Chains A and B, each alone.
Chain A
């Protein structure tokens, strides 16, 4: 049986930095499981940058301002002690990344370059052209190689085994061999990323962003925090939803309606295009609704115009964005505006983290970091440039936390973990043989459609209840589906079956949290409750899964410094 002191699940920015800090000078046996090869992880898709109040470009910037911007961006739902911890530590993180070899763009003095970003009162977003996540991911991978981190690529987490609030172990499939393994661990870090794929077709997320770790934790009894807060990125490409970095707006791009107007003047007159993502996404949808967009239905869009930046700046700062627009829309942003529309991008909610210093969850032995988790520093709306920051920063502290936890715990009950593995082996054997039943892809596509049209940017009770009904129906249909592949080796059809199951579980929680939150806050914009309601809803949603039953609960928001106030940009 595989036995480790610390097991990290997920090899993106959070997972790899957790692995580095957990193994550093600890003598502990650390392993990283990843569904895909580490450098394929979705951290690499982050483009625009990573926030840290270094004050290079604007000497008046400060940790305090980063703190305040993040809290305001969160529509006051973030835990302020956690935000302060995070913003205070970010400058050190940038220096550590620099020392690891991250190729940051530089200013005239050779310092890390910084750019303006949405919702930020100073230009503090550090970057490497528009490939910031990519270069950080690769640098972390290089450091892992240097430090001999043990990777299990193509291993998919199936479940976590918890007994009496104590981690016992986990079960994962080695996709190459098709073997299902019980794995013993004293502590684990879940770092499996978000689950934006509940909106399957209209998302900037990679295909594999199916919330496997979040679903496993949810199933194992850890509540899901604030799942209703879904970030829609304002600038997805019109045709495909592929991300056009916020750096486009950061560098000065305009958003135009079909009248040629910079319509953000009507929604965020002082920040204009540099408003936070929730505000800008809503503004785009409002323009389209008012008939001031281009095209119709799924192809409706507004324009982003970057021509005035000039060729040189575009080639230097936004080379990837230019290529994406060329490859996927056939448009050269140097010469033409490009069609964009909001696209599901990020889950503010996730695994309930109880202790932001260690990223510990309520279950002893389980830690979580990155998009799969909710600390919460993003509250109801995450600021651009705070997610790569989140993964690297909390990845580090989750790794350190898991290291200390491992030192204090022993391995759990082997027979229990083995029994769970056996259960999965049976499941796998059964699914390989099963034929007929409901079409898995249709289940997935109907989920996505229900979520996009009913639990999207604008929400009403009626729509969301409908979505919940659909998801419940689909959960039933899911019980009778088949995968159509009898192969033991590399059975991606089975993996996809597991993924769709995870998405359905999480989508249901999103609907529940959203229906219950009868207010508009951050990304959660209700047409039937258009105002923020601090008296009743300045609190975190916590959804518990108890068998097939979902139980809704709330917990207080930690407010240390900034009392809620009107949020205008």
Chain B
């Protein structure tokens, strides 16, 4: 007889504790099956939310061994095998307020999502009486981002959000993207600018969101798009944009990065001089950097520069 144990992080509004539940293993079951079994056979006070049980309502996301999963569609056997253990830790999603046990509070997120104006700002091409014409290729641009079920897993995985509550949750950035690329939307800037103003450039590129998104939404590419568009809006004078351009410009000039000039290009000479001197000194002391090293252009740099021309890269 094989027993599975869930160590579930519980909360009753005042105190937190971990409670273990063991149950008989059955093959081919989901986490939702297990949680339901625990609630109905062992402990009716255990709280979690679920509704549709087929990954469309977004109610049932929790963390298993630290990572977010929709319990309705996640195979128990699969994670038992991945972790090579019959004991698993379940917790509510991270980066949310907790209501009780595995139940999280969505109200603060509902406030925040409104910052990106998550609704269509219709162009004059359409009206409530006529609707719109939209090319199939333009529909395809919004097909994937509108798959978002607002389950909150991306928020839970987000390593920037963990440190910085000003950052917008990835699903909110997705909503900004979804309207910014909709051919029926008259004001992409209205969706992009709030993202920019809420630390868009602080995304760490950890790919936690895109990795665990149950709908496979490419949030990494969406964030890149929002950044590209913010720069087209003229928002070039910030640390993120300057940092990206430092790489972009170095590759065009020599093919490779010049680490010596990177901080100066990103932060400006004055800040670098003020902030980075102790850093630079310890680097020089250890031989990590050589201030006199100037990279030479690589063999075939012309072929690289041609790529800039073809892809319309390079400084305008």
- Which of A's residues lie within 8 Å of B, judged by CB? 36-37, 39-42, 44-45, 92, 94-101, 103-112, 128-129, 131, 134-135, 138-139, 142-143, 145-146, 151, 153-154, 176, 206-208, 240, 242-243, 320, 323-324, 327-328, 441, 483-487, 489-490, 492-493
Nearest opposing residue in chain A for B133, CB measure: A110
Q: Does A101 lie within 8 Å of B182, measured CB to CB?
A: yes
Offer 19 A-B interface pairs, CB within 8 angstroms, sorted by A: A39-B150, A40-B51, A92-B129, A98-B132, A99-B127, A100-B119, A101-B185, A103-B142, A106-B136, A106-B139, A110-B135, A131-B146, A142-B119, A207-B53, A208-B51, A243-B54, A484-B43, A487-B12, A493-B45
Does chain A have a CB within 8 A of B238?
no
Q: State the CA gap A42–B53 with chains docked (Å).
A: 11
Pair A490/B142 contact, Cβ less than 8 Å: no
- Kindly list 6 other residue pairs between chains A and B, CB separation below 8 angstroms, not including A42-B52, A324-B55, A327-B55: A42-B51, A45-B54, A99-B128, A100-B120, A138-B148, A176-B99
Asked if A324 contacts B54 (CB within 8 A), the reply is yes
A94, A112, A206, A324: residue with the most chain B Cβ atoms closer than 10 Å: A206
Which chain B residue has the least Cβ–Cβ distance from A497?
B44
Given known contacts A101-B119, A103-B142, A105-B139, A485 and B45 CB-to-CB distance under 8 angstroms: yes
Does A44 contact B57, Cβ atoms closer than 8 Å? yes
Contact, CB under 8 Å: B136 / A36: no
A492 close to B130 (CB less than 8 A): no
In the bound complex, how far is the Cα of B143 from the Cα of A107, in angstroms?
A: 14
User: A134 with B149: in contact, given A106-B136, A176-B99, A490-B47 (CB under 8 Å)?
Assistant: yes
Closest to A205 in B: B52
Residues of chain A within 8 A of B120, CB atoms compared: 99-101, 139, 142
Name A145's contact: one of B119, B122, B184, B185 (CB within 8 Å).
B119
A39 touches B45 (CB 8 A): no
Closest B residue to A142 using CB positions: B119
Stretch of B100-108, B194-202, B203-211, B246-254 on the interface side: B100-108
Q: Could you say which residues of chain A place their CB within 8 Å of the CB of B143? A: 103, 128-129
A107 touches B136 (CB 8 A): yes
Closest to A320 in B: B56
6 pairs of A and B residues whose beta carbons are closest in the complex: A101-B120, A98-B131, A95-B131, A110-B133, A484-B44, A490-B100
- Our pick among B58, B103, B126, B179 for the contact of A98 (Cβ within 8 Å) is B126
* A304–B25 CA distance with the chains assembled, in angstroms: 31
Assuming the A-B contacts A95-B128, A110-B134, are A36 and B73 also in contact, with contact meaning beta carbons closer than 8 angstroms in the complex? no
CA of A118 to CA of B106 in the docked complex: distance in angstroms? 38
Nearest Cβ on chain B to A12's Cβ, whole angstroms:
11
Residues on B with beta carbons closer than 8 Å to the beta carbon of A208: 51
Give A151 Cβ to nearest chain B Cβ, in Å: 8
* Residue numbers in B under 8 Å from A131 (CB-CB): 56, 146-147
Neighbouring A residues of B56 by C-beta, 8 Å = 44-45, 131, 134, 320
Query: Are A45 and B57 neighbours in the complex by a CB distance under 8 Å?
Result: yes
**Smallest distance from the beta carbon of A436 to chain B beta carbons, Å?**
13
CA gap between A230 and B138 in the complex, in Å: 40
Shortest distance from the beta carbon of B273 to any chain A beta carbon, whole Å: 47
B37-52: CB near A (< 8 Å → 1, else 0) gives 0001001110101111
A569 CB to closest chain B CB (Å) equals 29
Contacts of B44 in A (CB 8 A): 483-485, 493
Tell me the interface secondary structure of chain B in the complex: loop
Question: Is B113 within 8 A of A37, CB to CB?
Answer: no
Query: In the complex, A99→B146 CA distance in Å?
Result: 16
Q: Given A99-B131, A483-B44, do A328 and B54 touch, yes or no (CB 8 Å)?
A: yes
Q: Are A206 and B129 in contact, with the CB atoms below 8 A?
A: no
In which size bucket is the chain B interface? 35 or more
- Which residues of B in the span 139-183 have a Cβ within 8 Å of any Cβ on A? 139, 142-143, 146-150, 179, 182
Decide: B139 and A103 in contact? CB cutoff 8 A.
yes
Provide the bound-state CA to CA distance between A145 and B184, in Å. 19
Complex-state Cα separation, A104 to B136, whole angstroms: 9
Q: What residues on A are CB-neighbors of B266 within 8 Å?
A: none
**Complex Cα spacing A44 to B113, Å:** 19
Report Cα–Cα, A153/B131, bound state, in Å.
31
Distance (whole angstroms) from the CB of A336 to the closest CB of chain B: 17
**With A128-B146, A328-B73 known to touch, is A242 a contact of B54 (CB < 8 Å)?**
yes
What's the least CB distance linking B97 to chain A, in Å?
11
B114 at the interface (CB under 8 A from A): yes
- Find residues 222-267 in chain B having any chain A CB closer than 8 Å to their own CB: none
Taking a contact as CB atoms under 8 Å apart, the answer to whether B136 and A44 are in contact is: no
CB distance from A435 to the nearest CB of B (A): 11
Interface contact B58-A40, CB-CB below 8 Å: yes
Contact yes or no, B184 A101, CB < 8 A: yes
Q: How far is the CB of A293 from chain B (nearest CB, A)?
A: 21
Decide if B66 is an interface residue (CB 8 Å cutoff).
Answer: no
For A110, give the chain B residue with the smallest CB separation: B133
Measured CA separation A442–B233 after assembly (Å): 62
Task: For A96, list chain B residues within 8 Å (CB).
Answer: 128, 131
Q: Across the interface, do A138 and B139 meet the contact criterion of CB distance under 8 Å? A: no
Q: Which of B118, B126, B138 contacts A99 (CB 8 A)?
A: B126
Q: With an 8 A cutoff between CB atoms, is B287 at the interface?
A: no
CA distance A134 to B52 in the complex (A): 12
The closest CB in chain A to the CB of B113 belongs to: A145
If A145-B119, A493-B44 touch, whether A94 touches B131 (CB-CB below 8 Å) is yes
- Distance, CA A42 to CA B47, complexed state (A): 21
* Distance between Cα atoms of A490 and B44 in the complex (Å): 12
| B residues 1-38 touching A (CB-CB < 8 Å) | 12-13
Q: Is the CB of A327 within 8 A of B57?
A: no
Check B95 for interface membership: any CB of A closer than 8 A. no
Complex: A145 Cα to B126 Cα, angstroms: 21
Shortest distance between the CB of B190 and any CB in chain A (Å): 12
Q: Are A104 and B139 in contact (CB under 8 A)?
A: yes
Q: Is the CB of A39 within 8 A of B149?
A: yes
Chain A residues with CB under 8 A of B127: 99
Alpha-carbon separation in the docked complex, A94 to B50 (Å): 30
Cα–Cα, bound, A240→B72 (Å): 11
Q: Are B131 and A45 in contact (CB under 8 A)?
A: no
Residues of B with C-beta under 8 A to A154? 99
Known pairs A98-B126, A98-B132, A142-B120; A36 contacts B59 (CB<8 A):
yes
- Least distance between A31 CB and chain B CB atoms (Å): 15
Nearest CB in chain B to that of A54: its residue: B131
Question: Chain B residues with Cβ under 8 A from A145's Cβ?
Answer: 110, 113-114, 118-119
Q: How far is the CA of A319 from the CA of B214 in the complex (A)?
A: 13
Indicate which residue in A142, A207, A323 contacts B55 across the interface (CB closer than 8 Å). Answer: A323
Q: How far is the CA of A146 from the CA of B182 in the complex (A)?
A: 17
Per the bound structure, the CA–CA distance linking A327 and B44 in Å amounts to 28
**In the complex, how many angstroms separate the beta carbon of A132 from the nearest chain B beta carbon?**
11
Q: Which residues of B contact A36 (CB under 8 A)?
A: 49, 51, 57, 59
Q: How far is the CB of A427 from chain B (nearest CB, A)?
A: 17
